Amino acid sequence: MTNNQPQAFPPEPTQLHEHAADNLRFIRETMENTGRFTELSGLGYVLIGASAALAWLVSHSLAPGFELAVWFVEFAVATVLGLWFTARKAASAGTTLWNRSARKLLLAFSPPMAAGGLLTFVLYPTGNLALIQGIWLSLYGVSVMTGGLFSVSIIPVMGMAFMAAGAIALLWPDTTGWMMLLGFGGLHGLFGLLIWRRYGG
């Protein structure tokens, strides 16, 4: 007796690259949903530290009235370096600089920085450079600590170190120049190397 029913064939196996792409997409979405942005660039932090050390040297070779201007330029340079290298690292990981977790980090990072900018504007006419720079260190530390809650675990530690440097600068104004070098130069370089080693450049 002949069986006229059509023969059933097993489904074609899923292509390996399609399965891998689905897995990567799932992992990326899961990481975003945890609210942590892990693509901060260690290399970017190292270069920011180097540029800050250079700014410190330049500022000490100019008249006191130009010192703040040097640090304003350094802020712009550091912002470009941080965004560029972080965007590059995010792209290599298959994500973007403006994904959900990055926006959470930016939202937590920005208010203390805005407060620092406002206080700089208010205090600038007083000419109290040590006070202004102590506030910079302290509020930048707060920004890094709060923003770091949405990134790798070492970032809040860097924020606490900046806050400590800011506290020393505010309590002992004679140390402010060295705290600026230690903080924006040394801490960025040190933690940048740690991030680079543990999480990639």
pLDDT tens digits along 54-102:
999 999 888 777 888 999 999 999 999 999 999 999 888 888 888 888 8
Q: What share of the chain is helix, strand, coil (3-state, %, to 5)?
A: 80, 0, 20
- Compute the mean pLDDT over every residue in the chain, rounded to the nearest whole number: 87
Sequence letter at residue 199: Y
Q: What is the pLDDT of residues 160-190, one digit of tens each?
A: 999 999 999 999 999 999 999 999 999 999 9
By percentage, how much of the chain surpasses pLDDT 70? 82
- Is residue 125 assigned to a domain? yes
Does the predicted model carry a pTM greater than 0.85? no
Per-residue CA distances from 192 to 4, 36, 43, 163, 182 (Å): 71, 18, 6, 17, 14
pLDDT at 17 over 70: no
28-42, pLDDT tens digit by residue? 555 554 568 888 999
Query: Would you say residue 29 lies in a domain?
Result: no
For residue 96, give its domain range.
37-199
Asked if the structure places residue 8 within a domain, the reply is no
Domain contains 28: no
Residue 10 lies in a domain: no
Count the domains in the chain: 1
Whether 2 is covered by a domain: the verdict is no
pLDDT score, position 101:
86
pLDDT of residue 7: 56
Residue 3 lies in a domain: no
The answer to whether residue 66 sits within a structural domain is yes
